[in-house]
Structure 1
Amino acid sequence: MGLLLRIVLATALVNLAPAVAQAKNAVASPALQKEFDGFIEKFRAALKANDSAAVAGMTRLPFMNDNAIRDAAQFGAKTYRTSFTAKNRACIQRGKAVYDRDDYKNDSYFIFCGELIFVFTKTPAGFLFTDISAND
């Protein structure tokens, strides 16, 4: 392979790399971002009031497909009390939400709080709190 061809190929790869890296960083549309901003404002207000019933109303139930957490009372007793500590509520209040779109075209936002990730997903009913995952 000639030197000129190698230089052209190397230049093409260098120019292509940012486009490939950028494609992996999903960006929400302005309309989707606006919808999420409205949702998270209400969610944060419920957390500030420490209102587990209001948070449950913005949660996909049964939570994480667990039939033992299928209503607001169960959510409050089994999830809210343990996962929404004062520290985690404060973190969600100030945490930056990170957007991503998965391979199934699900739009989600994530807020990282220490060892936990709080997940909010766009559903046919609008955005809902859908998951708590380990931040590994």
Structure 2
Amino acid sequence: MKLLLRIMLAIALVNLAPAVAAAPKDAVASPALQKEFDGFIEKFRAALKANDSAAVAGMTRLPFMNDSAIRDAAQFRAKTYASSFTAKNRACLQRGKAIYDRDPDKNDSYFVFCGELIFVFTKTPAGFLFTDISVND
């Protein structure tokens, strides 16, 4: 009985090894990418500190979240900035740690968690842009 148990355990470990080896590692941004993001987020935070909705809109991919109702800077300021960039969220974004990740499509993004919201900044051909607000579930 003990021999059978040992054999079954050995088989289980052998079958588990490839899955463990293939487990994704925590993503780490290259130094150049990190430097580019640091420059972007410094400007973004300065715009938030000044409560400059026009500057934030200028650093946002439009139409915002592919919503045709938020296709330009004026619509972004009216429909998104006022409700999502409250004083509390602006303060959080100014001090919050940005977490890097790379998705399976090789898109580089940084996330800042502020209470119930996640603010997403993605590398685009035009450089980093504010691209999404998601619910922190």
Q: Same fold (TM over 0.5)?
A: yes
Q: Which ranges of 4 or more aligned residues in structure 1 deviate by more than 6 Å?
A: none
By how many angstroms is 1:101 displaced?
0.1
By how many angstroms is 1:71 displaced?
1.0
By how many angstroms is 1:24 displaced?
2.8
User: Is 2:121 the counterpart of 1:125?
Assistant: no
Q: Aligned residue for 2:42?
A: 41
User: Is 2:91 the counterpart of 1:90?
Assistant: yes
Q: Distance in 2 between matches of 1:49 and 1:69?
A: 22
Q: Which runs of 5+ in 1 are unaligned?
A: none
Q: Aligned residue for 2:116?
A: 115
Q: Which runs of 5+ in 2 are unaligned?
A: none
Q: Distance in 2 between matches of 1:40 and 1:96?
A: 11
Output the amino acid matched with 1:80.
Y
**What is the RMSD of the two structures over their aligned residues, measured on CA atoms?**
2.5
How many residues get paired?
Answer: 134
Sequence identity percentage: 83
| Superimposed CA distance per residue, residues 56-105 of structure 1 (whole angstroms, 9 cap, x where no aligned partner) | 00000000001111111110010000000000000000000000000000
Output the amino acid matched with 2:128.
F
Q: Aligned residue for 2:52?
A: 51
By how many angstroms is 1:28 displaced?
0.2
